[in-house]
Structure 1
Amino acid sequence: MIPRRESALLKISNENRVKLQALGFAVAGVLGVAIVDRLSMNLVHSGNDNFGLPFLLGVVFFVLSALFLYVLLRRTALVAEDALVKLSKYQQKEKENLQLFNFALDNSADAIYWFTFDTRFFYVNDAACKMLGYSKEELLQMKLSDIDSDYNKNTEKFLEQIKQKQFICFESRQTRKDGSTLPVSVSTNYFRNGEKEFICAFGRDITEQKERRRIITAQNMALKNSLQDKEVLIKEIHHRVKNNLEVISSLLQMQSRRETNSEVKDALSKSQSRIYAIALVHEMLYQNSDLATINMRSHLEQLSSAMIDLYAQNKKISVCLEADDLFLSMDYAVLVALIVHELFLNAIKHAFINTDTGVIDIFIKNGAEGSIVFGVNDNGIGINRDKVSTSTSLGCQLINTITECQLNGEIETDSENGFKCAITFIPKQKGKA
């Protein structure tokens, strides 16, 4: 089909040519008649009876008119022929464009259907027919409500909403010819052609997407349930480990009651409190919602409180805890707790020999470049700085071994005002050696 604008221009051009040709022929005829009439009148007035000359002039005029008319008609025929050739080319080009357009529409992955404001189908592509199971002829005789019952509800309001917003996307369920339904993602556009209003809708079958979404949701639910089961199991394991450690601690306590040797009793008591420091980590893990890390502030508060009750019953020792908001993994929490236990126990037993009062500071905080600094500081009688590294006691050996071999840290001591021991280490990130 020739474009509307070009067709109109071609029509106007042809009409102008016809008018000019008709006007030219009319002017030539009028001038010819006028000239012949004038010559005849002059001959009559002059008394000349020779009419051969006017006759000859008339014949010449009509011959010239015939030639002129032939030229005009020939020109008109050429113009018409040229117009037909152009029209044919335009039609061929338009036909090719229309074929490409129809091919693109029919082979679109989305169903395309246009409908008027009375919801009757105006155009459908092959994808729509394939998706719904109808032929084009059948769909063009149907209304939108025949494939989507939801359009019976507030149809006018919905169409006006599309008209106002120009573009709307939504999900719907459409009915196939065999009565089955399918989920469809629909995007609609409003457009106007003269006095007619249309809605152009693009529909896509999302059955597979829905199924994949359902499978993923089911898998996520299964993973969530599995994770919850594992969390329960891990908590149960920590709970049982803590109970087993308490059993060991009780056995050590029973053994301590049977012993008469004070050194053995003291060693058993220290071992019992060390086991408590480890058991406390497992207790906090199964009580917390986070099974991966331990709140060190809470852990050291409970540990120091238990040790005061166990070893400082006859002394007035106050404990000051200075702790940043630090969370460590179970491995690091156990190691830190054991070192703090040994330092705290040493301060209770040896720092306040000549007095019943004292202050013990426990600190754990963030250091430079991702390090952690923790330790114990007391205001007691102090101790030789080298004793911590050279002492053969089990407590000192534990501190040195854990710091150097397991934490890869450094020990700093200060004996000017009481005794202070600080350990600095950098926690390894998970997954790195």
Structure 2
Amino acid sequence: MDPLPAEDGNNNLSDSEMSSISSRFILLMIILAALLSSLYSYVLFHTMIELFTVVITGLIFVIVWNLKDRIDNNFLLVIGVACFFIGAFDFLHTISYSGIDAFDTGSSNLATQLWIISRYIEAFTFLSAILLLNKRTNPYRLFLLYLFLSAGLLLTISPLGIFPDCYIEGEGLTLFKIISEYIICAVLFAALLLLYKNKDYFDPDIHVLISVSIIFTILAEISFTTYLSVYGFSNLIGHIFRIIAFIFLYKAFVESALRRPFTTIYHQLKESEHQFKIKFISLFDNMADGVAFFKVIFDEEGCPYDFCMLEVNRHYETVRGIPREKVLNKCSSDLDSEIIREHFDEIMGVIRTGNPARFESYSSDSGRYYVCSVFSYDIGYFGIIYSDITERKLSENMLRNSLEEKTALLQEVHHRVKNNLQVIISLLDLNRHESGNEMINEVLNETQSRIIAMSLVHEAIYLSDKVSTIDADSHLRTLGLEVLAYYAADCDIILDVEADGCFFDLKTAIPVSLVFNELITNSVKYAFKGRKNGKITFRGECKDGYANMIYCDDGIGISGDIDLINSRSLGITIITSIVRSQLDGTIELVKNEGVCWKIRFPLKKRYGA
């Protein structure tokens, strides 16, 4: 059988148009059925309307609760949770309505009280849902909040009986009920204004549906302020408006959520994705560094052998000095990219493992230095961020050259000072040999020894890698051996020096060396007088901003009391004076087996290995 000829496309209705016509037809049928049922029995009409709203609120709650972990729209979440309690109060209102009176009150007051509670919850829920639009609400805490609120409101009706009357038989609505309806209308109107202000947060169709639902809810509440009988005409009109309001609510929260989940529940996600793309493009184009994205080219065996450049940002041209049109969709082999060629293995490591890499590279084409950060953003794709560090490199090289020149100059200065001191030592040595006076020779020897101590400091700096500090441990050991070789070459005196971790600048090293020289000289001349052996122990410790030094010998010791400040001994006077005036320290003499000197002074400059 031949197929039927197709009708003209202009006469065909789209799915959306068919859906709109169907919705209007269903709405008309529901209203017509409700009106017809009211002719037969108003109680039947009321029950149909209220149960319809209970079913709608129940459906909204079930859908929202099952999707609560995936809903980013806080408005949907708040309304959905509240619908459970709105529907519960509407159900209690229905079964307590005059004509059913399941609670056997003999009055319409209870049904009206339950009604007004439900409407208060509905109105303030719409308002709070919009106010909390940009916040994330915990659904479990929200459910408990509504549960406690609902339980408290029920208790005010029964057994407490403190909830105001809303309907009096023979008189009609109470002033509280009428004022409450107007308050509810005002709250709903405020929610409507806020909804319009935040319309960009919603899908346009959903925004219209919710707005229309709120408008018809307001009209319904106004109708419920005028009736004298619960079976009155204004009550009927109010329920018709209520049907329309909940059908639009159904369209917004149930049908739209089921048929168009991406425009309702995930509308915010799409907006966020769009905003993210805009921000990414803006960041990509305005980065101070050059950025390039590549695609890996594989051979027939699936092995990568080249890279094709897909996109570069605006600053790539500035940073790399290559026009954009010359590199796009070109392979690195065609571009003869020096950086990629030299770091091919590192880039391949990023592609294989997904772990980012960072390396410095020099491009002879542009004559510039770069820090290249390589990252893989998808299988077979990677990006490189080129950070131009040429200025920094040039500054580092200038600094390094300047430092090397300064170091060489300082070492040369110390070398010359040390040589000049050696000349002075030689001159003193000549004078000592020519002099026949023993007292003069003694003074020359001591002067020569002190100059040797200063000379060794400059020699240590000259030989050191660091021109600013001296390692106290090795320097004092060398100085001690020099003094012993000068004064006690034929004696077996053991020198035990430990000062690990102590590093002195020149201003500290020279006075410490002079003190150490005087202490050893005194030990050799007086403590070990008439002996061929002995032991000198030195311990230095530097921590917490202070240097603690202990010098001990096992010589004959010192008899009698010693006034360190007003001593007649030149050696002790020199030691005390240097420690107190040049090192700003303290000195203590401990007489035991031999003598021990305890010296403590602040480290004015940083020390450490």
Question: Is this a same-fold pair by TM over 0.5?
Answer: yes
Query: Residue 516 of structure 2 aligns to a residue in which SS?
Result: helix
Partner of 2:392: 216
Q: After superposition, what is the alpha-carbon deviation per residue over 1:204-237, rounded to whole angstroms, capped at 9, x for unaligned?
A: 8x5xx42xx1121111111111111111111111
Q: 2: CA distance between counterparts of 1:11 and 1:123?
A: 43
Larger Rg: 1
Please give the TM-score of this superposition, normalised by the length of structure 2: 0.42
User: Equivalent of 1:399, from 563, 575, 594?
Assistant: 575
- 2:265 paired with 1:265: no
Q: After superposition, what is the alpha-carbon deviation per residue over 1:64-89, rounded to whole angstroms, capped at 9, x for unaligned?
A: xxxxxxxxxxxxxxxxxxxxxxxxxx
Aligned-residue Cα RMSD (Å) equals 5.1
Partner of 1:232: 408
User: In 2 relative to 1, CA 149–250 (structure 1 residues): closer, same or farther, beyond 3 Å?
Assistant: same
Partner of 2:554: 379
Q: State the AA in 2 paired with 1:381.
A: I
Q: State the AA in 1 paired with 2:407.
A: E
User: In 2 relative to 1, CA 406–109 (structure 1 residues): closer, same or farther, beyond 3 Å?
Assistant: same
- 2:19 paired with 1:13: yes
- 2:330 paired with 1:145: yes
Partner of 1:330: 506
Indicate if the aligned counterparts of 2:311 and 2:328 stay in contact, CA closer than 8 A. no
Indicate if the aligned counterparts of 1:318 and 1:359 stay in contact, CA closer than 8 A. yes
Indicate if the aligned counterparts of 1:113 and 1:128 stay in contact, CA closer than 8 A. no
User: Equivalent of 1:293, from 466, 469, 486?
Assistant: 469
Partner of 1:345: 521
Q: CA deviation at 1:342?
A: 0.8
Q: CA deviation at 1:252?
A: 0.7
Q: State the AA in 2 paired with 1:339.
A: V
Query: Residue 276 of structure 1 aligns to a residue in which SS?
Result: helix
- 2:605 paired with 1:429: yes
User: Equivalent of 1:249, from 425, 431, 454?
Assistant: 425
- 2:365 paired with 1:359: no
Q: 2: CA distance between counterparts of 1:352 and 1:218?
A: 61
Q: After superposition, what is the alpha-carbon deviation per residue over 1:369-422, rounded to whole angstroms, capped at 9, x for unaligned?
A: 442222432222221341543333432221121111111111111223122222
Q: Kindly tell me the number of residue pairs found equivalent between the two proteins.
A: 314
Partner of 2:488: 312
Q: State the AA in 2 paired with 1:378.
A: D
User: In 2 relative to 1, CA 377–224 (structure 1 residues): closer, same or farther, beyond 3 Å?
Assistant: same
Q: State the AA in 2 paired with 1:380.
A: G
Q: 1: CA distance between counterparts of 2:457 and 2:568?
A: 27
Please give the TM-score of this superposition, normalised by the length of structure 1: 0.57
Q: State the AA in 2 paired with 1:397.
A: T
Q: State the AA in 2 paired with 1:320.
A: D
Q: 1: CA distance between counterparts of 2:391 and 2:378?
A: 36
Q: 2: CA distance between counterparts of 1:315 and 1:146?
A: 81
Q: State the AA in 2 paired with 1:401.
A: S
| Runs of 4+ in structure 1 over 4 Å off | 14-17, 99-108, 110-115, 117-134, 150-153, 161-171, 182-191, 199-204
Q: 2: CA distance between counterparts of 1:114 and 1:373?
A: 62
Q: State the AA in 2 paired with 1:366.
A: E
Relative to its length, the structure with more strand (as a share) is: 1
Query: Residue 415 of structure 1 aligns to a residue in which SS?
Result: strand
User: In 2 relative to 1, CA 203–321 (structure 1 residues): closer, same or farther, beyond 3 Å?
Assistant: closer
Q: 2: CA distance between counterparts of 1:376 and 1:125?
A: 69
Q: 2: CA distance between counterparts of 1:279 and 1:293?
A: 15
Q: 2: CA distance between counterparts of 1:381 and 1:167?
A: 71
Indicate if the aligned counterparts of 2:494 and 2:535 stay in contact, CA closer than 8 A. yes
Q: CA deviation at 1:148?
A: 8.7
Query: Residue 318 of structure 1 aligns to a residue in which SS?
Result: strand
Indicate if the aligned counterparts of 2:351 and 2:382 stay in contact, CA closer than 8 A. no
Q: CA deviation at 1:321?
A: 2.4
Q: State the AA in 2 paired with 1:377.
A: C
Indicate if the aligned counterparts of 1:321 and 1:363 stay in contact, CA closer than 8 A. yes
Indicate if the aligned counterparts of 2:292 and 2:310 stay in contact, CA closer than 8 A. no
Indicate if the aligned counterparts of 1:106 and 1:127 stay in contact, CA closer than 8 A. no
Q: 2: CA distance between counterparts of 1:122 and 1:288?
A: 54
Indicate if the aligned counterparts of 2:518 and 2:571 stay in contact, CA closer than 8 A. yes
Q: Percent identity?
A: 27
Q: 1: CA distance between counterparts of 2:17 and 2:499?
A: 93
Indicate if the aligned counterparts of 2:471 and 2:502 stay in contact, CA closer than 8 A. yes
Query: Residue 548 of structure 2 aligns to a residue in which SS?
Result: strand
Indicate if the aligned counterparts of 2:309 and 2:331 stay in contact, CA closer than 8 A. no
Q: 2: CA distance between counterparts of 1:369 and 1:346?
A: 31
Q: CA deviation at 1:311?
A: 1.0
Partner of 1:65: none
Partner of 2:595: 419
Ranges in structure 2 where 5+ consecutive residues have no aligned partner: 1-12, 27-262, 264-270, 299-306, 341-348, 360-365
Q: State the AA in 2 paired with 1:251.
A: L
Q: 2: CA distance between counterparts of 1:120 and 1:339?
A: 72
Query: Residue 389 of structure 1 aligns to a residue in which SS?
Result: coil
